[in-house]
Amino acid sequence: MAMIALGKRARKHKGLVALVDDEDFEKISAHNWYASYSPNIKKYYAQRQISDGEQDQKSVRMHRVLTGAKAKDRVVHLNGDTLDNRGENLRVVEKNRRDVDDKI
* pLDDT by residue, tens only, the chain of 104 residues: 999 999 876 556 668 999 999 999 999 999 999 999 999 999 999 999 988 777 678 899 999 999 999 989 999 999 999 999 999 999 999 876 555 554 44
Domain total in the chain: 1
The CA distance from 73 to 27, in Å, is 22
Q: Quote the pLDDT of residue 104.
A: 45
Q: Quote the pLDDT of residue 94.
A: 82
Cα angle, residue 78 at apex, residues 77 and 82 outer, rounded to 5°: 30
Residues 7, 48 contacting (CB under 8 angstroms)? no
Q: Is residue 102 part of a domain?
A: no
Domain with residue 8: its CATH number is 3.90.75
Where in the sequence is the domain holding 83, given as residue range(s)? 2-94
Q: Quote the pLDDT of residue 80.
A: 96
Q: Quote the pLDDT of residue 60.
A: 95
Q: Is residue 78 part of a domain?
A: yes
